[in-house]
Structure 1
Amino acid sequence: MKKVLITGANSYVGNAFKRWVESHHTDDIFVDMVGMRKGEWKAISFEWYDVILHAAGIAHVSTDKSMEDLYYKVNTDLTAEVAAKAKQSGVKQFIFLSSMIVYGDATNARFITADTVPNPTNFYGDSKLQAENKLAELADEMFMVANVRPPMIYGKGSKGNYVKLAGLAQKIPFFPSYQNKRSMIHIDNLSEFLARIVLNGDSGTFHPQNKEYVCTTDLVSTIGSIHGNTVRRIGLFNGVIDKLIDRNVTVNKLFGDFSYAKELSVYRDEYCVRSFEESIVETEKN
């Protein structure tokens, strides 16, 4: 049995992973959690654990320059500190929850392949990339590092852009019929992927995603239908969207392409336990 310590007691991914393991991998994985904000992690021994899943961190993009130092302190420096303790304690595997944002965003990285070089456009993405670089300095045959770069994560209890879209989808009568391609991952799919990484003892850089790409229009329509709201699709604004998509942040977030090549997300084990439609139903049901 693999013994996993999750750093970040308030982490959405960490808590979801714990619930998933306790429901689906009770014979294979044991999970503990430890808080970070008050330095709790410093007071406990890591020596009993096989794996550290480092889920702690500031998880959302900010444009507030006053927050920049904090992002690097938490996402970069703290990650390196925890990893150094893990290595010194004899932990065999360190899994770091990074982000697709290390490549930038829909303005400069619309379709990401194995040849795409990380090029973050904000300090959130750069803080994650710098953490990966520090982990690379610690990694060796006895200390396996796995960097996981998920796209937008969604599911029951998630925060961020998905929640805003879901609220919109329940109220609006129509939405632009604009075709775009986004990579996303449901929390159950990500949790199963992390479980497989643990069980296989893998190292390297990973790009998990749902099997299906997501079009924003389809997403809004699907969420609306679950709540009994029929959202009409109209193409009236497509010309305006085309002109604004590289100039306006909000338009870019809604309708820009930002996706992984499918082959980048292939893994030796199946981890997509929910289809796109199933995942939306699971997320939106009471």
Structure 2
Amino acid sequence: MSKRKILITGRGSYVGTSFITWLQQWPDQYEVTELSVRGEDWKGHDFSKYDAVLHVAGIAHVSTDPKMEQQYYKVNRDLAIEVAEKAKKEDVKQFIFTSSIIVYGDSSHINKKRVIDRSTIPQPSNFYGNSKLQAEEGITLLESDDFKVVIIRPPMIYGKGSKGNYPRLASFARKLPVFPDIENERSMLHIDNLCEFIRLIISNNEHGLFFPQNTEYVKTAEMVRLISVVYEKNIRFTKAFNPLLRFIGDYVGTINKAFGNLVYEQSMSNYKDNYRVRDLKESIEETEAEKL
């Protein structure tokens, strides 16, 4: 059986780099090439030898500065569509675009449970989410019998080397003696579960819209507890701060980032093959292992 050839467009991304490492378990089945799509040189690269293109290039959700708006659209939308057009023109059979749960709006809240299901209409609340959604729409229009398009809308991704909220929580777990015990639920996705999902999507030559997530929803306090166990730290969990945090949550965005509620309805994330290779406890141990 010949190797499946995969091109990752976007050099050095967290998802792309992790995926390359993940596929090393099957050296006889996959051949991966990473390509920078900065500048114009990538346009001269021959795409015709690849079975699938995984597009991970993009500007992350790091700025709400209006001056950045055009750059977000240029990179997250226009570049993504341009890469997809080249892939289709050069007879690549499958194009995978990594979008985000953020297309539904940046609205997790400490006082409100929000459940996204298949009927939920995307309503981006900022130009990051809107640039991702417009990229999805432009790429989906290119789909044909010979060009399969996959859109993946993951929730918060975490794992070894990840950025964003998770490292912040891990830092709290290592340093704080007390942590708020608030009941909340978040959909999250460990990087190994995402990598296995992408591998299966490529192996099965899929097309369509997908919402991978961990098997279980995550409660922030439980995640902090699991991290503290790895470091053998004794954290006391208390509900004493809950009324204050719930009050502040109506005014302070960072409280909602830490303790908000935002989940995908569970059945949306089912797939015919098991991609959830790590449960929450294992994923925390895996993520924190090298830091000890």
Same fold (TM over 0.5): yes
Q: Deviations over 1:129-149 (max 9, x none)?
A: 000010121111111100001
Secondary structure of 2:54 counterpart: strand
Moved more, 160-169 or 244-253: 244-253
TM-score, normalised with respect to structure 2: 0.94
- Name stretches of at least 5 consecutive residues in structure 1 with no aligned partner: none
Secondary structure of 2:96's aligned partner: strand
The CA deviation at 1:258 is 0.8
For residue 163 of structure 1, what is the aligned residue in structure 2? Answer: 167
Which sits farther off after the overlay, 64-73 or 126-135?
64-73
Alignment RMSD (CA, Å): 1.3
Q: Distance in 2 between matches of 1:190 and 1:59?
A: 17
Tell me what 1:6 maps to: 8
Which segments of 5 or more consecutive residues in structure 2 lack a partner in the other structure? none
Structure 2 residue identity aligned to 1:145: V
1:134 has 2:135 as partner:
no
Counterpart residue number, 1:148: 152
**1:97 aligned onto 2:101:** no
Deviates more, 1:58-67 or 1:267-276: 58-67
Instruction: Give 3-state SS (helix, strand or coil) of 2:225's partner.
Output: helix
Kindly provide the amino acid, as one letter, of the partner of residue 142 in structure 2.
Answer: L
Contact 1:225–1:231 at 8 Å: present in 2 too?
no
The percent identity for this pair of structures is 50
Counterpart for residue 278 of structure 2: 274
Equivalent residue pairs, number: 285
Tell me by how many angstroms 1:28 deviates.
2.5
Query: In 2, distance between residues paired with 1:246 and 1:266?
Result: 34
Aligned to 1:243: 247
Mapping 1:1-286, distance limit 5 Å: 1-23=3-25, 25-105=26-106, 106-107=108-109, 110-286=114-290
- Greater alpha carbon shift after TM alignment, 231-240 vs 38-47: 38-47
Shift of 1:221: 1.5
- Whichever residue aligns with residue 39 of structure 1, its letter is E
Aligned-partner residue type, residue 125 of structure 1: G
Per the normalisation by structure 1, the TM-score is 0.96
CA contact (8 A) 1:211 1:275 kept: yes
Q: Kindly provide the CA deviation profile for residues 218-248 of structure 1, in whole angstroms up to 9, marking residues without a partner as x.
A: 1111112211221111101111222233432
| SS of structure 1 residue aligned to 2:195 | helix
Q: Deviations over 1:140-181 (max 9, x none)?
A: 111110000111111111111111111121000011110100
Q: SS where residue 175 of structure 2 aligns?
A: coil
Aligned-partner residue type, residue 68 of structure 1: E
> In 1, distance between residues paired with 2:28 and 2:121?
39
Query: 1:26: Cα distance to partner?
Result: 2.4
